[in-house]
Structure 1
């Protein structure tokens, strides 16, 4: 694959020098919480509040950031870390503690929750050093620049991703950040914003992604379809080869983004992904929407977009652009409220508001920038899991036809010797188990199906293993019900194409024999 970004930038951009003194995090006397609150899918699943309500500390080195995480009372104690100055390999070391799991050469947000990282003062730059979020929830990153992170050459960090999330991550809001590289894969860079291996409920807003071969992906391979419910709004993608983003499975909502100089492809919806693409502005670019480099189709719903000097290649083989006259081939229901700017003014409003050090300005929904409305001074952080519902399910089985028979099934992972299809075969002797103690199993139909109850039958000898769960409308990410023991679960009747049983806590490895679905 050609690398136009690399060629254009090689002669003009250089990586920044590293080196800064290491210091410790200093607690401030009072929290200086930034105004504004999460938007998009980050508002779902209990919401995203980061470190609100906790202590605020100041950090000028990566080691100080790790120290702040590691000296908390627990891995879920809320904290806001205000970052100023340049964070690099020379000042970022591993710190140990019971409330953290850090590493050298990368800002590691691993197995933690309820954290905000925000740039303050003259700015915060993560130079050649990426931010890695893994097995974590309720994280906010705002007003920082991450640049020139490499996966090959020297130095390397975070697999070459500026911001990367993987392995069961929930509720992350990334806002007013600048993510940039100085070339493509051949120069050692990878994605600017990558999500993989079960990452859900994420919003990227008012940010700049530029000068890279790869903007970002959702799903690391065609089989990694456990990710989804991602919102991208009021972002600038500029001077990028492809992946703005690449979607594999799941649902994404792109609105009011400005795309300029996309050289090979743009929004690449693949492997069953569904993208809602509203009021975006595409300019001086090629193949900005479609399914590319695979025969496994993705889908899109389009409205209000402007295509200015966009060229479209011919459809052939695994190259299936949506243009030259993009039409919707799916519908996507969005569970949160949002305001659309007209696509004609998107380039201007994004130029004024997107990126670090822009004063956290937002659009007022009328194509004008405005200061965000401050949120609560001390909001209560949202729980990692929704509040459990009744612990005792109804004692009788639902009546009517089990709609799972003849349907399809998939999930987030499966243990050896088990299968997703085992939960819809009507046979209590066959089971599905996740690869660990938590995971998701879904039943799906080709057309919208109305259901109002499900029956989760644990295998013989495994009753009581499931200790916490949610039922999700997989079409839009809405939580239909939550609780603490399997069995019959009822909720307001809903028409959907896919329903998910999300096991968030268990006493051992769950063994699910049947996932029955009923209309009432």
Structure 2
């Protein structure tokens, strides 16, 4: 049914004019399917349903989005706006009306409620144009990419925030989004996901935040502590300097997120904030949790987290890292039910689900992935060319059949080149990889109990195909050689019961880059 809806949308778009948003005569149950059920704190305080039950319109410009808001009967009339294409300064103008309050330099969701904005078809990209939510409630933003929003330089938008909320905002759910910058404050960028001045009941889920100096904040200053009840789950933070997030006061629930390359600090709990931090995977990062750059203490409750190659700075007057011995210093009660994946499988689960244009796939809570039964036309098989390569749901085009035993397992090796990680070979993401510090070295998959392995698949990263020369497959528990050969790909051998399998590269024509080390029983 969903594909037929998408085809009908394309047909309507092909014959409609471009001046205004296009109303779609979809049955109400199909229109409501533009979003799944809200999770986390966004499910509280009456829930977050967005525009469910309202008219569905199609927009390919920012002006059409504003027009759709302004032509409603009232500012709280439910509406679902399905967006496809690139939204930028050139096609986003102010539109006036009794049911809206818009602006030309951003997507302005101000003094309104009951709105869903969802990417469909080939994808929705907000290019250098931020989304601003102010004095509004019951908003869903789903399956969109927002990139390179600037606060200085040209063009500027939304104070430099990809998505920003302020001034009495309630019940917002941002889901399956990709938020990215191309640098820090000195390059003109600010936060990717900011909340301030009385914002509550917000969930950010299954999203990618990357390549920014600042991930996001809750509270604009040490006195702006009235923001609370925020959930972050199944998100990937990658190459972020700080603020993943920065909390000033209030309560946040942070679970099942994958943090990679947090360069200066990560979750920064300050000014009495309380963060519950459950079953996250922190990798190749510094000071991932604590109170930083202030003497105004914050607090945390921790459980089930994995710290993989995390370094910690020394404690000081304005610096209180939670590690290296990370323990709880408060308790945080969560009012909703949730099932967290084991942290060991978080990298692979997040790689398969997070970001725009991944088909709205979600975790089952048992280290496996399923497509939501209410997935909308956002799961169209035609993906946007701007979709994140880190959100590929398949480990590799050369992946072989059977259950990949590396998912949820551990990884180590003899050495690793700067910027690479052992865990990258088991995260289901072919854009990340491990390299040895030279041209030879070991990479291993390991389990806590004996596991039968009779086949592996070595997937090289893009641009490095053919670099791997001679190799050996070893029973890492005994050192026995199970197979020798040359070149990457699928490798079968006599099955062995072991707690560790090692792929030893003994020769290479260039620096090897192993994107995935898949293991199978046979």
TM-score (norm 1): 0.68
8 Å contact 1:35–1:373 — kept in the other structure?
A: no
> What is the distance in 1 between the residues matched to 2:231 and 2:61?
30
Q: Which residue of 1 aligns with 2:153?
A: 153
Contact 1:208–1:236 (CA under 8 A) maintained in structure 2: yes
Superposition deviation, residue 373 in structure 1: 3.4
Question: Which string of whole-angstrom CA distances, capped at 9 and with x for unpartnered residues, describes residues 137-191 of structure 1?
Answer: 0000000000000000000000000000000000000000000000000000000
1:368 maps to 2:368? yes
**Bigger relative CO (Cα 8 Å, ≥ 6 apart):** 1
For 1:24, which of 20, 28, 43 is the aligned residue? 20
Change (3 A) 1:254 1:116: same
- For each residue in 1:323-361, what CA deviation from the matched residue of structure 2 results, as whole angstroms up to 9, or x when unmatched? 001100000000001111000000000000000000000
1:225-271 deviation digits (Å, cap 9, x = unpaired): 01010000000000000000000000000000000000000000000
**Residues 78-97 of structure 1 correspond to what in structure 2 (within 5 A)?**
78-97=78-97
Distance apart, 1:285 and its partner CA: 0.0
In the alignment, which residue of structure 2 is the partner of 1:42? 42
Structure 2 counterpart SS, 1:296:
coil
Question: Does structure 2 retain, via aligned residues, the 8 Å contact 1:23–1:61?
Answer: no
Match of 2:185 in 1: 185
> In the alignment, is the contact (CA less than 8 A) between 2:35 and 2:142 conserved in 1?
no
CA distance in structure 1 between the aligned counterparts of 2:240 and 2:19, rounded to whole angstroms: 36
Are the aligned partners of 1:25 and 1:65 in contact in 2 as well (CA < 8 Å)? yes
Q: Do the aligned residues in 2 keep the contact of 1:166 with 1:197 (CA within 8 Å)?
A: yes
> Which whole-Å CA distance do the structure 2 matches of 1:45 and 1:35 have between them?
18
1:193/1:216 contact within 8 Å kept: yes
Deviation at 1:367, TM superposition (A): 1.1
Quick one: distance in 2 between partners of 1:282 and 1:375?
Answer: 30
Unaligned runs of 5+ in 2: 1-16, 377-522
1:335 is aligned to: 335
Question: In structure 2, the residue corresponding to 1:301 is in which secondary structure?
Answer: strand
Q: Paired residue for 1:63?
A: 63
Kept in 1, the 8 Å contact 2:359–2:375? The answer is no
Q: What is the SS of the residue equivalent to 1:186?
A: helix
Q: Could you tell me how far 1:371 is from its partner in structure 2?
A: 1.0
- Aligned pairs, how many? 356
State the match for 1:10 in structure 2.
none
> Cα deviation per residue 1:417-438 (whole Å; 9 max; x = unaligned)?
xxxxxxxxxxxxxxxxxxxxxx
Question: For residues 183 and 375 of structure 1, what CA distance do their matches in structure 2 show?
Answer: 33
Q: Is the 8 A contact 1:167 1:198 kept in 2?
A: yes
Q: State the match for 2:356 in structure 1.
A: 356
State the alpha-carbon separation in 2 of the partners of residues 22 and 179 from structure 1. Answer: 27
Distance 2:146 2:175 in 1: 13
Q: What's the CA shift string for 1:464-512, capped at 9, x where partnerless?
A: xxxxxxxxxxxxxxxxxxxxxxxxxxxxxxxxxxxxxxxxxxxxxxxxx
Q: Distance in 1 between matches of 2:279 and 2:150?
A: 33
Deviations 1:95-144 (A, max 9, x none): 00000000001000000000000000000000000000000000000000
2:54 counterpart residue number: 54
Report the CA distance between 1:35 and its aligned residue. Answer: 5.2
How far apart, in 2, do the equivalents of 1:168 and 1:373 lie?
33
Query: CA–CA distance in 2 between the matches of 1:36 and 1:78?
Result: 16
- TM superposition shift of 1:374: 2.6
Contact 1:22 1:63 in 2 (8 A): no
Equivalence for 2:274: 274
Q: Deviations over 1:408-453 (max 9, x none)?
A: xxxxxxxxxxxxxxxxxxxxxxxxxxxxxxxxxxxxxxxxxxxxxx
SS in structure 1 at match of 2:57: strand
Q: Offset of 1:23 from its aligned partner?
A: 3.6
Check the 8 A contact 2:41/2:203 in 1, yes or no. Answer: yes
Whether the 8 Å contact between 1:37 and 1:375 is mirrored in structure 2 is no
- 1:369 is displaced (CA, Å) by 1.1
Q: CA deviation at 1:366?
A: 1.1
Question: Partner residue of 1:98?
Answer: 98
Deviation at 1:317, TM superposition (A): 1.4
Alignment correspondent of 1:162: 162
SS at match of 2:41: helix
1:349 match: secondary structure: helix
Residues 24-423 of structure 1 aligned to structure 2 (within 5 Å): 24-30=20-26, 31-32=30-31, 33-34=33-34, 36-374=36-374
Query: How many Å separate the matches in 1 of 2:91 and 2:375?
Result: 33
Instruction: Provide runs of 4+ in structure 1 moved above 4 Å.
Output: none
SS for the counterpart of 1:213 is strand
Shift of 1:375: 9.1
TM-score by length of 2: 0.67
